[in-house]
Amino acid sequence: MSDFSTEPAGSAADFSTEPAGSAADFEAVIGLEVHAQLATRTKLFCGCSTAYGAAPNTQVCAVCLGLPGALPVVNARALELAALAGFSLGCDVRPRSVFARKSYFYPDLAKGYQISQLDEPLCLGGYVRYVLDGEARSARLTRIHVEEDAAKNLHLGGRTVVDFNRAGTPLIEIVGEPELRSGAEAEAYLRALREVLMFAGVNDGNLEEGSFRCDANVSIRPRGSATLGTRVELKNINSFRFVRLAIESEIRRQEALVLDGGKVTQETRGYDDARDATFAMRSKEEAHDYRYFPDPDLPPVSIAPARLDALRDSRPELAEDVRARWTNELGLTAYDAGVLTAHPEVARYVDRAATGLAAKASLAANVAGKKVANFVMSEVLRDVTTDGLAARFPISADALVGLLVLVEAGTINGKIAKDVLVRMRESGDDAATIVEREGLAQVTDTGALEAAVDAVIAASPSQVAQYRAGKTALLGYFVGQVMKATKGQANPAQVQAILKAKLDG
Ligand SMILES: [Zn+2]
């Protein structure tokens, strides 16, 4: 018997101990629906203001309250902005689109339906380009349609009231194809989309005020499968980070559920960041529950082809194009170009100043561009404040050119330029006026500089001896002493030349 293995015929050792299904066997399928408020001054179907933060129910009329018989009139500017969004995202912008009523019952929708678009939206197709882990990617869009926002329910200590100021605010809904695979990818896509809309001047990108909102449809399926699993809609997530975390936590929940033999049910869920978990809100409606039908009060929208062409040709340069131009033509680093395109107005400021400096100081475009970029990054950017699509700068781009021109001409040095910037900001005066008034022009008078150099040499006998014994790195010390003696106003290159002549001679 000892010739035979004592191992029983069918033991556990004959089989893989791997469980039948593990998380690695699934892939997530994520599609995003983004609601972006169009940057109009008035609402989509009436003349009420869209300004954020007004006292409740002060920006309302019969139309946006939904009183019976009130007739909507389309805001042409809203349609133009929506078309601009479409062009900026590579969509097919349709000359004809149709508004439809989406019926549902909720306190924030007094008239019982939301005006939206279904079968004939303004834009079809398109894509969002983004970078994930250093790799350029793109995800397709299904459509972009125009719709009105609902009012806002405010929950105040046990009771709920409705503020109709937001009702009727123009939105676009940007529906993405379910092509994203992770929370990090969704975050990258959203950041890129927000940037496109801001650079196009369509949306102010403010997540806190809710003018850029995202719902995420999340499902899982066996890896390699082409069919879509049951999807869960994640709603009301108001930061990029929370979108990523909510999606990741929802993917984990669905995987655990399926591995445990359960089934994902179609529902709407919210995200509790304190617990890093999603929670059920309500079962999800199907499109047919909304009883869509064309709005009889609104004729189909038609935009003349010539108008569409003009809009397409007038669309602002996108951030990725600005970055490519700056790195290729001005020689900026990718990092600097990224920092300076964080807001569209900052990018325009840099371009305006770079063009101005190149013209006024007769510099090559790349030389002027680099000088402006460096000065803005080190001295200007920290004092820039943004408010939606607008930005406030400590001094105007033209005033900045006036300052940098003085540096180029040798009238002031780079150090004094920083002081002049502070004074420009305080007084509102231009650089030349301040330099003249306060006597800040660089000391280039050779006689005066030689006297200052002589005084420093006379006062530093031991350093002079060391320098002459070969410790030439001390030259920097002498330059520093002369700059100090001249209150920073000496021309450093000139000081260095005079010092070398006197110490070496
Ligand atoms: Zn109104």
- pLDDT, tens digit, 9 for 90 and up, residues 217-252: 999 999 988 888 999 999 988 899 999 999 999 999
- What's residue 285's pLDDT? 65
Instruction: Judge whether residue 18 has pLDDT over 50.
Output: no
Distance from Cα 374 to the centre of ligand 1, integer Å: 47
Domain ranges of the chain: 23-302, 328-437, 446-504
Instruction: Judge whether residue 424 has pLDDT over 80.
Output: yes
Q: What value, to the nearest 5°, has the Cα angle with vertex 314 and ends 309 and 317? A: 130
Distance from Cα 155 to the centre of ligand 1, integer Å: 23
Supply the CATH classification number for the domain 446-504. 1.10.10.410
Instruction: Judge whether residue 490 has pLDDT over 60.
Output: yes
Distance from Cα 168 to the centre of ligand 1, integer Å: 7
Strands 232-237 and 267-272: parallel
Distance from Cα 83 to the centre of ligand 1, integer Å: 23
Distance from Cα 385 to the centre of ligand 1, integer Å: 31
Question: Do residues 186 and 205 touch, judged by C-beta distance below 8 A?
Answer: no
Rounded-to-5 percentages of helix, strand, coil across the chain: 40, 20, 35
DSSP state for residue 14 in the 8-state scheme: G
Quick: pLDDT tens for 333-382. Answer: 999 999 999 999 999 999 999 999 999 999 999 999 999 999 999 999 99
- What's residue 287's pLDDT? 63
- Name the strand (E) or helix (H) holding 113: strand 113-116
Distance from Cα 202 to the centre of ligand 1, integer Å: 21
Distance from Cα 497 to the centre of ligand 1, integer Å: 72
Distance from Cα 157 to the centre of ligand 1, integer Å: 28
Instruction: Judge whether residue 425 has pLDDT over 60.
Output: yes
Distance from Cα 51 to the centre of ligand 1, integer Å: 12
Distance from Cα 116 to the centre of ligand 1, integer Å: 17
Tokens of 294: 């064309």
Distance from Cα 81 to the centre of ligand 1, integer Å: 20
Of the candidates 139, 169, 162, the one whose C-alpha atom is nearest the C-alpha of residue 51 is: 169
Distance from Cα 388 to the centre of ligand 1, integer Å: 22
User: Which residues, at least 6 apart from 270, have a Cβ–Cβ distance to it below 8 Å?
Assistant: 234, 235, 236, 278, 279, 281
CA-CA-CA-CA torsion sign (393, 395, 397, 401): negative
Distance from Cα 50 to the centre of ligand 1, integer Å: 9
DSSP state for residue 377 in the 8-state scheme: I
Distance from Cα 397 to the centre of ligand 1, integer Å: 38
Instruction: Judge whether residue 14 has pLDDT over 60.
Output: no
Q: What mean pLDDT, rounded, does the chain reach?
A: 91
Distance from Cα 252 to the centre of ligand 1, integer Å: 44
Distance from Cα 86 to the centre of ligand 1, integer Å: 26
For residue 298, the Cα-to-chain-centroid distance in whole angstroms is 34
Distance from Cα 104 to the centre of ligand 1, integer Å: 20
Distance from Cα 46 to the centre of ligand 1, integer Å: 5
Distance from Cα 64 to the centre of ligand 1, integer Å: 4
267 pLDDT band, cuts 50/70/90, is very high
Q: What is the pTM of this model?
A: 0.85
- What's residue 2's pLDDT? 41
Quick: pLDDT tens for 101-137. Answer: 999 888 899 999 999 999 999 999 999 999 999 999 9
- What's residue 286's pLDDT? 67
Question: Do residues 474 and 445 touch, judged by C-beta distance below 8 A?
Answer: no
